[in-house]
Amino acid sequence: MARLGTSPEPSHAGGDPSAPQHVAIIMDGNGRWAKARGLPRTAGHERGVEALRRTVEAAGDLGIRYLTVFSFSTENWRRPAAEVNTLFGLLKAYVQRDLSRLQQDGVRVRVIGQREGLPPDIAELVDRAERETATNSKFHLTIAFNYGARNEILRATQVYARAIAAGEVTGELTDAGFEQYLDTKDLPDPDLVIRTSGEYRISNFLLWQAAYAELLFVDVLWPDFNKSHLESAISRYHERERRFGAVTPGAT
């Protein structure tokens, strides 16, 4: 079906033409996974990183070109400091351990979210990962870390307002124009947003970009997520009819 709206046309270069181009995942349920086993929440987060590794590989195999994962929200600062520290440590360890492998596999790594407020060592590591993979284009892994959609939209609006005040921008603001100020400026909109763990909410993830995404809520807890869950999510995506506000051809 023709794709309407402001998103770039899917290119599918090197991918499976029937796969959704961009899948975004709210990786939820680490704490419950651990609790069910009598383990500390941190054990769930550790196993969550393994699920992320599996999912990056599976997404590539299944012809998805863009994978965006929600890893730490601006609201997750409300958790105990020890848990926040664990989550920061796991991001650091993931990038340190996997960067060369991702680089070899032609993965472009991006981290979206507010950079300000991240510990300097993590901010530096994230900058390095982005810089070193900047010319890769086979697969795009975007990690939403210290990310909240409202925060992203407000930051974008501030930069835009300053550019107007400085006389750097003139003319009418369009959807496509505004998107240039978002953290996701080089990414197509997600086609499919999956949330694990049986919660039916968006929790401040990609509020602008997911305007016409298909939403899928699955019961599996994130540390258990594997390739077969992703395959089944893609099958369910194919059962959907995306209309983008138009009418189905032949329906009138």
What is the set of active-site residues?
28, 76
Nearer to Mg ion by C-beta: 28 or 189?
A: 28
User: Which tokens in the block code for residue 68?
Assistant: 């965006």
Length of the chain: 252
Q: Which of 199, 238, 189 is nearest to 220 (CA)?
A: 199
28, 46, 183, 214: residue in contact with ligand IPE (rule CB under 6 A): 28
Question: Could you give the CA distance from residue 148 to residue 26 in angstroms, rounded to a whole number?
Answer: 12
Task: Say if CB 223 and CB 29 are below 8 A apart.
Answer: yes
Q: Which of residues 201-230 bind ligand IPE (CB under 6 A)?
A: 201, 203, 222
Task: Pick the stretch among 54-62, 70-78, 157-165, 224-232 that binds ligand IPE (CB under 6 A).
Answer: 70-78
The amino acid that residue 236 corresponds to is R
Nearer to ligand IPE by C-beta: 7 or 146?
A: 146
How many of the other CB atoms lie within 10 Å of CB of 181? 19
Q: Which of residues 4-43 bind Mg ion (CB under 5 A)?
A: 28
Check binding of 26 to ligand IPE (CB under 6 A): yes
Question: Could you give the CA distance from residue 32 to residue 247 in angstroms, rounded to a whole number?
Answer: 42
Check binding of 72 to ligand IPE (CB under 6 A): yes
The listed partner (ligand IPE, Mg ion, none) that binds 32, CB under 5 to 8 Å by sort, is: ligand IPE
Closest distance between ligand IPE and the C-beta of residue 73, in Å? 4
Task: Say if CB 34 and CB 40 are below 8 A apart.
Answer: yes
20, 31, 60, 188: residue in contact with ligand IPE (rule CB under 6 A): 31
Binding-site size, Mg ion (CB under 5 A): 1
Check binding of 222 to Mg ion (CB under 5 A): no
Task: Say if CB 24 and CB 213 are below 8 A apart.
Answer: yes
What does the binding site for ligand IPE look like in residue numbers (CB under 6 A)? 26-32, 70-73, 76, 87, 197, 199, 201, 203, 222
